[in-house]
Structure 1
Amino acid sequence: MARPKSPLVWILIVVGGASALCCSGTLGLMVLGLISGSDTDSPGAVAGMASPADRARAGKPGEPGGFAFDAPQGWKTQADGRFITEWTDSSNLLGVEALRLQSVPGLEDGEGKLLRMWRERVGADWADVNPNPPAMRRFVTNGARAFFTAAVVTHKTNGKSFRVTLMLVEADTRFEPLVFIQSFSSPGAGEAMSASFSWNTSHQKVEEALKGVRGSPVGLPLADDAELVGDFTYSTSSAAQWATAYGGTTMTAVSYAVQYILGADHTYQYKYSGASGVVGAMTFGSEDDRGTWSIHHDILTLTGEKRPRRYLIVGAGHTPEGKRFVILMPEHPRWSLYPGALSQDAQMFVATQ
């Protein structure tokens, strides 16, 4: 089965052959991309937040030279410098590509640099690209921090769906960008719908590749305390309409809101209000708590007077309107950053101002 060629091959310009040994002795691709936009308008450190230079000094040196990416065994190296793996699942062909782009100088404004590169590079070569995806964060294998975003996009020529992940890994005084492209091809009908169910499966290979990614510095939390100080609210609602055996209809709904006021003195207030049930006869509930909060690694811990709560920190940034937000995932036995977990469990808390 012929596999659609990735549009992102336009990014790759191979220098001195497909691969070379980098100064640290690890195998790396000397692949150039295009730097996105000017950074002269970057805001730098937010008031009360550690600057990139301060963060680097506070952390421990990570990978010598700042960065390394060792592709997993069994992945093929293409002539243009990409790494690729493909496999069959029943009669379907799944694949993941990994490629490096040119380094981006400076560690300030990681969120802004990520989104500019997403709009100018991914947005230029794919269709149906969300210009304002959420800027998220994670650790790579040695504990260095990375900014990332991901979304399903469409090939401009053949209309097939791909899932693209763009990641900027902190590497001493620069960011090292990585792109992962998940693909799906099927000989049967309904390929677009089948592809939507494949992203969790092929994401296993993305996580496998990320085990070979190392950056610097290490030993720092995923978010600075000042990024979480504020009044944040998350709200959601859903409704369903049902047909009864007697020819009528009924509607049920669930709606709730959670508010956290996180103080600079590491105290917090919590409020919950919600309603559920048949519309017109809904049950309402509320809860409140207070206590202290702290960040360790990528976990936000809230030690309340009534009960403790823990969240996985997934992101922190600004909405298109300029409001601050944090993306949190409530404690779960199978915490993960797989596509399904992000879409189902991650909650975006938006600041009141």
Structure 2
Amino acid sequence: MKMLKYTFGLLVGALVLLSSCRDFVDPNIPYSEFDTGAYLRTISRTSTTFNYFSLGSSNFALTLEAVDIEDGATVETVEIEVQHRRLIPGVGLEYTPSEPVNIMTLSASDFAPNTDSRFLRTSFEISAADAIAAVGLTPADIEGGDVFEFSLILNDVNGRSFNRENVSGNIAGAPFYDSPFQYFVSVICPSDLGGTYEYTATNMDSIYGSCDGTISGTTTLTPVSSSPGSYRVTDGTFGFWDCYGDSWGSGNVRINDACNTLSMSGSDKYGASYSMTVVSSTPEELVFVWLNSDGETGEVTMSAMDGTPLPIFN
């Protein structure tokens, strides 16, 4: 009996060792329609945004790895489709065209061996210009915040297709698989206004009284990490409260840059909200009027301390 237990233990140990060391892809890839399938693991997202200010040099680029029971050899083609969408306030999402259109097709020959894994890989690049033309638009039609939806359809040699409609949540979203079959490329407006600025404030007035003359000083725009294009202002009144003998304190007012259109948001320590209107804008200086819900206002002329040219703002 002792020998039987010992032999059984060795057998179990060997099975555990073999199962833990095997190096192949589990054929039971959890697709909703197929027992055995293939997927495209995202190896590198080289570029997944279009720069609104530089559409001519923007592109969407990926490196993908074909994973299947034959190390990627069952892939026949990968169709890439694109569709443009825009959020219309009060209406919802508007798609152009109404259905995705093909922009590129990869063939089996586009997949090749690599030195990092045994699976076949491919890299591709689609320019923003090609994506815009494919959906029937021109660069003049594009706005900051637009999104291009790229969808992939993997067709294998067995006549099956794998896409965003039949991929399971595990394959699409789990870090190991990372195969969503769909990528959202946003049109972004890079903003880099963080820093310290010199300002002169004039025309300061409120229901509590006015402040004659001018106030000069510096203010720092601190980027808000959770909100790209948003900058916290050192003092939302730009020194106006000094006339009252008051201080800015714990106020949280921001200047927001959305594709060179500026706005002000947030509130001061008393709960008053803030807004702004751009009066003029040149590379040398920005002139704007701020206003809060307590009726306080002032005109500010602001320039970069290091002389860096400013964008032209709206």
> What is the TM-score with the length of structure 1 in the denominator?
0.22
Larger Rg: 2
